Amino acid sequence: MELNNQTLLNELYGEHPQHYVAVDCVIFGYKDGDLKLLLYPRSFEPSKGNWSLLGGFIQKDESSDQAAERILKRTTGLDEIYMDQVAAFSKPDRETAARVISIAYYALIRLDDHDEEIVHQYGADWFSIKDKPDLIFDHDEIVSKALAKLQQKAGYQLIGPELLPEMFTLTQLRGLYEAIFLRSMDPGNFRKKVLSLGVLKRHNKKDSTESKKGAFYYSYDENAEMPDKEIGRIIKV
């Protein structure tokens, strides 16, 4: 704030209303072939106890990005998580008790890393995206927009490091993509397409938990590409 004249400030802005602005987080995780969603039972009225997204209010001196990070950190203990803005939701009656404008985010987290205790401490739980309960307010709409945005991102950039363990097999990666796009993909074609991107590094270790033959582990090749380089379409959308 550079202006030192409060009167002028009021003159300029005072006639306009102010609003509560919240962030709501669609937290995606991946496990057992299913894209999961972390949901919370709302802790206060109205709609207390019903499932909802993780949310919180934007404070005086933080951006919505910072607010989303803060809320995610405080509630799940997780730090340095990939997040992306979905959109702002602003219908005047979208919440029932007061007018709240919400800026929605989606986050991608690795279920392994994850501290189960701190999740359950709030009564939160993971739900398959295919089998989630109805959510409060307009949170169902937020989830579908978030999923659409995730699909779009995954279609142009390899998502995997964000949702899988450090090292993963190509079958695990395909499982993730099948979960995100809610359809099956040809194993051979998927493998070739993904490897052709040249961003994965093969390790010598093999994973034997999912197949008898064992599959090579892969991880991101750090020195392959600059991080935000366009790597082309991965799956046809």
Partner DNA sequence: TCAAAAGTGTTGTAATTACACCCATGT
Partner DNA sequence: ACATGGGTGTAATTACAACACTTTTGA
For every residue of 126-167, DSSP letters joined together read EEEGGGPPP-STTHHHHHHHHHHHHHHHHHHS---TTTS-SS
Minimum CB separation of residue 174 from DNA in Å reads 8
Minimum CB separation of residue 123 from a copy of itself in Å reads 19
> 46: cis peptide before it, omega within 30°?
yes
- CA–CA gap between residue 172 and residue 211 (Å, rounded): 11
Total residues contacting DNA by CB under 7 A comes to 22
Minimum CB separation of residue 194 from DNA in Å reads 11
The neighbour count for residue 137, using CB atoms within 10 Å, is 23
Among 7, 32, 80, 92, binds a copy of itself (CB under 8 A): 92
If phi > 0 it is left, if psi is from -120 to 50 it is alpha, else beta; for residue 129 that is: alpha
Among 85, 128, 151, 219, binds a copy of itself (CB under 8 A): 85
Among 91, 120, 130, 192, binds a copy of itself (CB under 8 A): 91
The residues, ordered by sequence, that sit 6+ positions from 134 with a Cβ below 8 Å of its Cβ are 51, 140
62 near a copy of itself, rule: CB under 8 A: yes
188 near DNA, rule: CB under 7 A: yes
Positions in 168-187 near DNA (CB under 7 A): 169-171, 186-187
Positions in 38-57 near a copy of itself (CB under 8 A): 44-46, 57
Minimum CB separation of residue 29 from DNA in Å reads 21
Minimum CB separation of residue 227 from DNA in Å reads 22
Binding at 90: pick from DNA, a copy of itself, none (beta carbon under 5-8 Å per type): a copy of itself
Maximum distance among all Cα pairs of the chain, rounded to whole angstroms: 75
* CA 218 vs CA 87, 155, 191, 205: distances in Å: 33, 19, 12, 9
229 near DNA, rule: CB under 7 A: no
Classify residue 168 by its DSSP letter.
B
Which residues of this protein are in contact with a copy of itself, per CB under 8 A? 1-3, 8-9, 12-13, 16-21, 44-46, 57-65, 85, 87-88, 90-93, 96-101, 103
